[in-house]
Amino acid sequence: MRIDDRTRASGREQAVTEEVLASFDATPDPRLREVMHSLVRHLHSFAREVRLSEREWDAAIEFLTRAGHITDAHRQEFILLSDVLGLSMLTVAINEAAAPGATESTVFGPFFVDEAPEVPLGGDIARGAAGTPCYVSGQVRSVTGAPIEGAKIEVWEADDDGFYDVQYLDGRSAGRGRLRSGDDGEYRFWSVLPAPYPIPHDGPVGDLLTATGRGPMRPAHLHFMVTAPGFRTLITHLFVAGDPYLDCDAVFGVKPGLIVEAAHHLGEPAPDGTHPRGAWTSIAFDLVLATGHTR
């Protein structure tokens, strides 16, 4: 292509971008106008940079269509896509509270369920989930060290076979629960030791990982969402030290401050005075909240 041909092509391309940008100029909401202008500029710039072909764009549309078709009440393929592209963790980083000492946030993930079974302090959220029993305990407190009483703690995890309860077809609720912190901010519950597992990879996101030579594995972790009046909602994981996938989490969620040691026990009483049969484990971790507004 001659220089003058390239110049004309560039002019045509820029004209398209300018026309689309102008179409959003009258958007009443200034924030929406800002977001749409930036989105158009970046999307058009991307297409020009890679010289996107019509065939490639058709394939992208088909990919997104498949993601929509496979999404249902129990599976959110678009969250998976955001996760594996690192956009979820980037959004977390942008919005994380600047509060030294607060527990770090990480991705929400696609398997949270509203209205999880409520359990008392020291109760069992495993509810039959496969795995080695694990006693999890700690304190919910502020960055000043003050205990937070009555914080709502939502916990969920995969079982030893690598599945969340919602991935089974029998309607079970296992490896999931809701409890409140006690008078001194303490929390404690029984569950099972987290195990590594693959994100769902039988759909378009899995095809993307395969095509790019990436794996679908997530390191063993336990999900937390903690809310309390006057404090920012904390969404985080606890990762088990020594897991082989800590350095290659498919969704980039690992942070060094969230890696915890799981102590292994055999033939000794648990902190709650019970005597578990066989081997069991324990994890201790304080959940530290930043002040701010609950989501």
Average pLDDT over residues 112-116: 87
pLDDT tens-digit map of 128-139: 899 999 999 999
- For residues 167 and 130, the answer to whether their CB atoms sit within 8 Å is no
Judged on CB neighbours under 10 Å (0-12, 13-18, 19+), 198 is middle
In the chain, what are the domains? 3-80 (no CATH), 86-289 (2.60.130.10)
pLDDT tens-digit map of 74-97: 788 999 999 999 999 999 999 887
What tokens were used for 75? 């599976």
Average pLDDT over residues 159-177: 88
Mean pLDDT of the chain: 93
pLDDT number for residue 266: 96
pLDDT number for residue 291: 92
pLDDT tens-digit map of 183-238: 999 999 999 999 999 999 999 999 999 999 999 999 999 999 999 999 999 999 99
pLDDT number for residue 29: 98
Phi and psi angles of residue 178, each rounded to the nearest 5 degrees, phi first: -130, 130
pLDDT tens-digit map of 128-167: 899 999 999 999 999 999 999 999 999 999 999 999 988 8
pLDDT number for residue 13: 93
pLDDT tens-digit map of 2-15: 556 566 667 899 99
